[in-house]
Amino acid sequence: MMISGTVLEGKCDLVSSHLSYPAPPRLLDLNMLLRRVLPHVRSMWLGCLLSMLTTAAANAQMNGYERPPINYLHTEVHDPVAKLAAQIQAGETQLAHDAEFGYLESVLQELDVPVNSQTLVFSKTSLQISRISPRQPRALYFNDDVYIGYCQNGKTLELVATDPQQGAIFYTLDQADETTTPKLTRDRGQCLSCHVSSRTQNVPGFLVRSVFADAAGRPKLGSGTFTTDQTSDFRDRWGGWYVTGQHGSMRHMGNTICEGDEYTFDREPGANELDLRDRFRTEAYLTPHSDIVALMVLEHQTQMHNAITAANYETRQALHQSYQMNELLDRPKNFLSDSAQRRISAAADRVLEHMLMCDEFQLTDKVSGTTTFAADFQARGKRDAAGRSLRDFDLNTRLFQYPCSYLIHSDAFGGLPDEVRSIILARLLDVLQNRDESEQYAHLSKEMRANILAILRETLPEFQHIVFAKQ
């Protein structure tokens, strides 16, 4: 490690520069020299090392994913797309190629991604920008773990999957060549130029971006952009996107070209749109819709995934650095420093706030989509004996009837290190049993808390174990 090399160099410099002794007429007693030298060296050496590690910890989320213990670009992954790639390579699965959509329909089927999850974005804010415009939007499809991007006449399908350990993993699939066995190629860093930033919580991740798009689909960056999730003001959502569905008197930025700037932008023409046929050739897509409920779920899910990945990375990095210090300081191997515990605790809090929909924008009118997405999404939920599920929608004042993210049942959440997952679940139990009545959870009524608690006790075995342990 570079730290070791630097420290050892520093140690030599410290001995020569800061500890000067006159040349003795005879050989100095070695024990006496060590007693005089080593306390100074050890103190200064550890001070330098602690300073370096503190700086590294502060920047861990920014660039630590390329180094141990994350090794994002080189660690083997086990996400759904990686598994499909292995099946194709082994000849166990064959993808069907269509003259119009390429491998799209076959990939959706193999990865169990519903067609009615389709959302359409016309801003030039992704890889194949020359293929995207208001007359030719890019289609996005998703389920709980996978996102797929399709462009008309595009050279590639773009796929992103959530690996339980490594988070968002990016792939492409060549659409043009149907004569050879299709190959899903893992990205080795190109996608991260956009998909690692504060917008993705500083980890390789996802984002739904709202922009003021001109007639060509180019974002007017001078007018500002928004990264949207369930906390975003409704009026700031879906700039550069098509949106089908009803939302009453609320207004958003979708379905509209920005001809001026953010001050003259008119949100009225794009409101409560049910039919997009006058805007582009809808028959060129698998469905003519860009369902508003699917968009709202997509916004929540992307940032929830990012929060889980950020907690995963932060915990693994904190443990790794703490264990390194244990070796240097001759502490017990599994000793966890106070600073590491604070980092893990803060990461747990961030996940819990996303999970419990803290600061969610309060809807002022009923929202409804134009497809069966909402019904199908709910049907996939794990239900308790009373028939309740975390996937049940509200859509009158908030997104979900029971404001606790369904991604608590995901492989990504299950893949969190025990050190952070146990904290999240314990604090979640404190909130749901009304022991934690902090201001950020004030939106959760006692009835909501009781309902969420009942659902989790019957649908998440690990949570039930924590309930028993508390008792």
179, 185, 190, 192 alpha-carbon torsion, rounded to 10°: 140
Which helix (H) or strand (E) is 335 found in, with range?
none
Is the pLDDT score of 55 beyond 70? no
Is the pLDDT score of 47 beyond 60? no
The DSSP output letter for 457 is H
Q: What is the pLDDT confidence band of residue 469, given thresholds at 50, 70 and 90?
A: confident
Beta carbons of 344 and 315 less than 8 angstroms apart: yes
Is the pLDDT score of 62 beyond 60? no
Is the pLDDT score of 22 beyond 80? no
Question: Which residues face 400 on adjacent strands?
Answer: 393
* CA 267/CA 43 separation, integer angstroms: 63
Q: What is the mean pLDDT of residues 58-83?
A: 83
User: pLDDT by residue (tens digit) across 370-413?
Assistant: 999 999 999 999 999 999 999 999 999 999 999 999 999 999 99
Is the pLDDT score of 35 beyond 70? no
Helices (H) and strands (E) in the chain — how many of each?
13, 9
* CA 383/CA 102 separation, integer angstroms: 37
Q: What is the pLDDT confidence band of residue 2, given thresholds at 50, 70 and 90?
A: very low
Which helix (H) or strand (E) is 76 found in, with range?
none
The 3-state secondary structure of 192-257 reads HHHHCCHHHCCCCCCCCEEECECCCCCECHHHCEEECCCCCCHHHCCCCEECECECCCCCCCCCCC
**pLDDT-above-70 percentage for the chain:** 87
Residue of 443, 431, 471 whose CA lies nearest to 349: 431
Handedness of CA 360, 350, 400, 296 (dihedral sign): positive
Task: Please give the pLDDT value at position 381.
Answer: 97
Task: Please give the pLDDT value at position 70.
Answer: 96
Q: What is the mean pLDDT of residues 145-167?
A: 97
User: pLDDT by residue (tens digit) across 216-252?
Assistant: 999 999 999 999 999 999 999 999 999 999 999 999 9
Q: What is the mean pLDDT of residues 342-363?
A: 98
Task: Please give the pLDDT value at position 179.
Answer: 75
Pairing verdict, β 138-142 and 119-121:
antiparallel
Task: Please give the pLDDT value at position 369.
Answer: 98
**How close are the terminal C-alpha atoms of the chain, in Å?**
46
Is the pLDDT score of 23 beyond 80? no
Task: Please give the pLDDT value at position 468.
Answer: 81
Q: What is the mean pLDDT of residues 346-369?
A: 98
pTM for this prediction: 0.86
CA distances from 143 to 80, 135, 245, 323 (A): 11, 26, 20, 37
Q: What is the pLDDT confidence band of residue 448, given thresholds at 50, 70 and 90?
A: very high
Is the pLDDT score of 40 beyond 90? no
* CA 353/CA 143 separation, integer angstroms: 22
Tokens 């703490």: give the residue: 322
- Burial track 392-409 (b if 16+ CB lie within 10 A, e otherwise): bbebeebbbbbbbbbbbb
Tokens 């990095």: give the residue: 317
**Token digits of residue 353:** 């706030």
Q: What is the pLDDT confidence band of residue 285, given thresholds at 50, 70 and 90?
A: very high
* CA 348/CA 341 separation, integer angstroms: 11
Is the pLDDT score of 284 beyond 70? yes
Long-range Cβ contact pairs of 33-36 (< 8 A, separation 24 or more)? none
Residues with Cβ within 8 Å of 15's Cβ and at least 6 positions away in sequence, in order, are 37, 41
Task: Please give the pLDDT value at position 60.
Answer: 42
**Token digits of residue 217:** 């689909």
Task: Please give the pLDDT value at position 331.
Answer: 94
The DSSP output letter for 102 is B
The DSSP output letter for 368 is B
* CA 232/CA 299 separation, integer angstroms: 9
Instruction: Round the average pLDDT of the chain to a whole number and report it.
Output: 88
Q: What is the pLDDT confidence band of residue 36, given thresholds at 50, 70 and 90?
A: low
Q: What is the mean pLDDT of residues 154-178?
A: 94
Task: Please give the pLDDT value at position 63.
Answer: 61
Residue type, 43: S
Between 120 and 65, the more confident residue is 120
User: Could you tell me how many residues make up the chain?
Assistant: 471
* CA 215/CA 137 separation, integer angstroms: 12
The DSSP output letter for 444 is S
Is the pLDDT score of 128 beyond 80? yes
Q: What is the mean pLDDT of residues 51-60?
A: 43
Beta carbons of 167 and 203 less than 8 angstroms apart: yes
**Token digits of residue 19:** 């500890």
Residue of 224, 215, 236 whose CA lies nearest to 261: 224
* CA 425/CA 87 separation, integer angstroms: 35
Is the pLDDT score of 56 beyond 50? no
Task: Please give the pLDDT value at position 313.
Answer: 98
Task: Please give the pLDDT value at position 384.
Answer: 97
Q: What is the mean pLDDT of residues 413-441?
A: 97
**Token digits of residue 285:** 């897509």
